[in-house]
Amino acid sequence: MRLKDKVALITGAGSGIGRATALLFARQGAKVCAADISEGSLQETVDALEGTRMQVTGDVSSSDSVKKIVQAAIDAYGRIDVLVNSAGINDRQVPEGLTHEEKWDRVMDVNLKGTYLMCWHVVPEMLRTGGGSVINLASVMGLVGSEYTGAEGFSSYVPSKGGVVQLTRNLAVEHAKNGIRVNAVCPGYVLTNLIKPLHDNPDLLEKIRQRHPIGRLAEPEEIASAALFLASDEASFVTGIAMPVDGGYTAQ
């Protein structure tokens, strides 16, 4: 097993890529600490996990909440070997009735600040135990622009994921000497809750599908497999990358 006895803390584990990653890591021998803001969704994930696991609810955009999440993992397992920052939202998931500035702040708080806060509190634990692997979920939208965001060029999602890519690179350079590898996975469009609103617009959904040369959208498990590689010792010489897992989207 590729992650035997490693402790993996995974945010956004209640659904989508986070859930698929938690399930895959557990099958590969990891002790999984699953975190999510939704207690109900998180419970469904934990019920499906194999092996050693625990759960903790929290909001990654809150420093106090992040401290609670990290401390729960340390109390349970004594260390964190792998951090997967999968918690995220897009413009379409922000509640109605907010101003454009409030929507911008909410997406940035979860996607970029949340990734920053998790890294801020986990990296010292990795330093204490001699290293680890951080995998940040960015997006192809962190590498290219997009006309499909529904915000007429003012999407908060796109720059939030661009920020995740740059945070990843900076942390990787800073902590390579400390045995901490930091990488980003940049998925194309994935069949998760994030794109559910697009199903109400089949013409737009078809245009997006056609943007992927491979001819379809990704399954969450395909993104989880990329995270598994980066978490494993097989990626021991890989740090600072933004890995597209996008069916050819960014190759055009």
- The domain segmentation of the chain, as residue ranges, is 7-251
pLDDT at res. 148: 67
pLDDT at res. 238: 98
Q: Which of 77, 157, 189, 249 is catalytic?
A: 157
CATH classification code of 7-251: 3.40.50.720
Query: Quick one: pLDDT band at residue 121, thresholds 50, 70, 90?
Result: very high
Contacts of 68 (CB under 8 A, 6+ apart): 56, 58
Taking residues 86-108, report their average pLDDT: 91
Among 72-81, 144-153, 178-187, the range scoring the smallest mean pLDDT is: 144-153
Query: Quick one: pLDDT band at residue 149, thresholds 50, 70, 90?
Result: low
Q: Is the pTM of this model over 0.85?
A: yes
Taking residues 87-114, report their average pLDDT: 93
Evaluated on CA atoms 19, 247, 211, 202, the torsion sign reads: negative
pLDDT at res. 182: 99
Rounded CA separation 107/25 (Å): 27
**Residue 170: pLDDT above 70?**
yes
Query: Quick one: pLDDT band at residue 151, thresholds 50, 70, 90?
Result: low
**Residue 136: pLDDT above 80?**
yes
**Residue 196: pLDDT above 80?**
no
pLDDT at res. 246: 98
Contacts of 12 (CB under 8 A, 6+ apart): 18, 35, 36, 85, 86, 87, 88, 137
On average, the pLDDT of the chain sits at 95
pLDDT at res. 150: 62
pLDDT at res. 180: 98
Rounded CA separation 214/225 (Å): 17
pLDDT at res. 55: 97
**Nearest alpha carbon to residue 20 among 193, 247, 239:** 193
Percentage with pLDDT > 90 across the chain: 86
Rounded CA separation 13/180 (Å): 22
Taking residues 229-238, report their average pLDDT: 98
Rounded CA separation 86/205 (Å): 23
pLDDT at res. 193: 83
Active site residue 157: yes
**Nearest alpha carbon to residue 188 among 220, 162, 232:** 220
Q: Which residue has the higher pLDDT, 243 or 151?
A: 243
Taking residues 213-217, report their average pLDDT: 96
User: pLDDT digit string (tens) for 23-82?
Assistant: 999 999 999 999 999 999 999 999 999 899 999 999 999 999 999 999 999 999 999 999
213 and 35 Cβ atoms separated by less than 8 Å:
no
**Residue 171: pLDDT above 80?**
yes
